Amino acid sequence: MAKLEKCKAFEGVKGPLLTIVMDGVGIAPANAANAVAAAHTPTLDALMANYPTLKIRAHGTAVGLPSDDDMGNSEVGHNALGSGQVFAQGAKLVSQSIETGKIFASDAWGALIGGVKANASTLHFLGLFSDGNVHSHIDHLKALIEGAKREGVGRVRVHILLDGRDVGETSALDYILPFEDYLASLRSDAFDIAIASGGGRMQITMDRYEANWGMVEKGWKTHVLGEGRAFASAAEAVETYRKELKVIDQDLPPFVIEKDGGPVGTVEDGDSVIFFNFRGDRSIEISKAFEGGADFAMFDRKRVPSVLYAGMLEYDGDLHIPSRFLVNPPEITNTMSEYLVDSGVNSLAISETQKYGHVTYFWNGNKSGKFSETLETYIEIPSDVVPFEQRPWMKCAEITDKLIEALESGEYKYLRVNFPNGDMVGHTGSFLATECSMEALDLQLARILKVVDKLEGVALITADHGNADEMYELDKKSGEPKKNKDGSPKAKTSHTLNPVPFIIYDNYYKDSYKVKLGREDFGLSAVAATTVNLLGYEAPAIWDESMVELK
């Protein structure tokens, strides 16, 4: 049992305690790149002006990533928010496993390599092709390729998902061209290696939360079946699509590399496939497609080769997806949800499809199930399957409708909600749409806070990482947006390194505690201890320090 001890100094808020995650909303200077600052947000402005507000860290080592040059992301951010602790996360785990050689000693690696050598077949690598270090890293891919060559594998094919989201929006050739030179340096009569297919990450393969299985179907046809528009090289594909469609990398259509009249790298019986992304949310569906049996019904796979498949990590620890993986994921224990359940606290988690898994699966330490069917309620609002810049308000009003209903029901002592607007719209690179998304969110904050006051509750308003706060690539010296050839600002579609706000909206109990204002060393993991303190409980000693001191 992980039961919390009651505080002697403070009995806790009488009404509900609500955590609001404004996904992708960081704190940055109010410059020409900041869509949060540009938006008309009277509610958020009033909150930060009139209520205790701290800047907390949401990237790098504060959330378990290798260095403070690494952007935070929604996965690790919600892990930290929900667990109250910092665990070594995907990128760091993989890098450590490569450095120590453990990855090459794993059972999964041995099985896949052994299968390819026994069958004289092909080893395929599939994943996000950049050094963004949010879902994958190209250095991990290179290490695996070199490991395969050392093991005596004779034929390797690489299927690249172009980024333009966690890295520069039109940076694909900056990765493809040096990588082709790298492959040429490895290639020999005994080692046949080539890029076989690809496409933009928001067009094929990397769907999440089953929002658009059509993306995965397009990926299957491209990578496995070799169906699609053919090009002589990946560089030719990128250059051609850019001229024809004027789209950024994440939106590039699928392509297949052909030679001598046919695709160079379809997936066949006896092959092995490694999905080299370490982050789970956009890796689960393609893993299901490869490992799904005869009852798989999400789309017609046409041909299902008999292969050995592995992920870089286990992407879902409860459902054990995939069945093979190269690196063990972090074992996240003693989460806030576990403690609240064992203490008899009724809770609610709500978001729309795009971030539903973040307030449930990631919040609970990469566990897809509930800790208690009676004490926990999850609500998913189906997301629209449209480009986010076309409906930047997303489902924030519908989420708020359900949230207010839950607050007023009196059933829940603790509630958490994620509004995806700042992140999902921010990733499109559209400044105007992101500005609109923030204004839509601000309207919902005003609605929610009125209800919190009516119920004598408290709201904690924060974010999981930055994004909407820096919509253009900035020149480090001048601080001004970089320019495209046509003079327009160069869009930035990735997360930022900026801190995020932590605001305590409390009109009833603020005399019972002191907020540790002025400190900038807190990270997202400090939110859990703060939360249970305001609920009237002592925080577990294993958690990171609370941002309030009870009087």
- Could you report the per-residue pLDDT of 5-20, keeping only the tens digit for each? 999 989 999 999 999 9
Domain at 91-327: CATH code? 3.40.1450.10
Q: Give the H or E element holding residue 415.
A: strand 414-419
Instruction: Please tell me the pTM assigned to this model.
Output: 0.77
- For residue 337, the one-letter residue type is S
- The pLDDT of residue 318 is 58
Domain at 17-88+333-550: CATH code? 3.40.720.10
Two structure tokens written together for 515: 């907020």
Within 13 Å and on the Cβ side, how many CA atoms surround 532? 33
Say how far apart CA 62 and CA 43 lie, in whole Å: 28
pLDDT of 317 above 70: no
- DSSP-derived pairing of the beta strands 192-200 and 255-259: antiparallel
Two structure tokens written together for 50: 């009139």
pLDDT of 218 above 90: yes
Reduced to 3 states, what is the DSSP secondary structure of residue 27? coil
Say how far apart CA 251 and CA 163 lie, in whole Å: 9
Q: Which residues lie closer than 8 Å to 275 by C-beta, 6 or more apart?
A: 126, 127, 283, 286, 287, 290, 309, 310, 311, 312, 322
Q: Give the H or E element holding residue 435.
A: helix 431-454
pLDDT digits (tens, 9 = 90+) for 159-208: 999 999 999 999 999 999 999 999 999 999 999 999 999 999 999 999 98
- DSSP-derived pairing of the beta strands 500-505 and 458-462: antiparallel
- For residue 342, the one-letter residue type is D
- The pLDDT of residue 142 is 98
Say how far apart CA 25 and CA 296 lie, in whole Å: 38
DSSP helix, strand, coil percent of the chain (3-state; round to 5): 35, 20, 45
Say how far apart CA 317 and CA 357 lie, in whole Å: 13
What residue ranges do the domains of the chain occupy?
A: 17-88+333-550, 91-327
pLDDT digits (tens, 9 = 90+) for 263-283: 999 999 999 999 999 988 899
The average pLDDT across 114-120 equals 98
**Active site (catalytic) residues:** 74
pLDDT digits (tens, 9 = 90+) for 392-413: 999 999 999 999 999 999 999 9
pLDDT digits (tens, 9 = 90+) for 331-377: 899 999 999 999 999 999 999 999 999 999 999 998 889 999 999 99
Q: Give the H or E element holding residue 54.
A: strand 53-56
Reduced to 3 states, what is the DSSP secondary structure of residue 159? strand
| Torsion of Cα atoms, 349 then 353 then 357 then 360, to 10° | 10
| CB burial readout 330-361, b (16+ within 10 A) else e | bebeebbbbbbbebebbbbbbbbbbbbbbbbb
Q: Are 175 and 130 in contact (CB under 8 A)?
A: yes
pLDDT digits (tens, 9 = 90+) for 254-263: 999 999 999 9
Q: Are 131 and 167 in contact (CB under 8 A)?
A: yes
Q: How many residues does the chain have?
A: 551
Phi and psi dihedrals of 195, rounded to 5? -75, 135
Q: Are 378 and 346 in contact (CB under 8 A)?
A: no
Helical ranges in 51-209 per DSSP H: 74-83, 90-100, 102-105, 107-119, 138-150, 172-186
Residue whose structure tokens are 């990270």? 523
Say how far apart CA 77 and CA 19 lie, in whole Å: 14
Structure confidence at residue 536 as a pLDDT band (50, 70, 90): very high
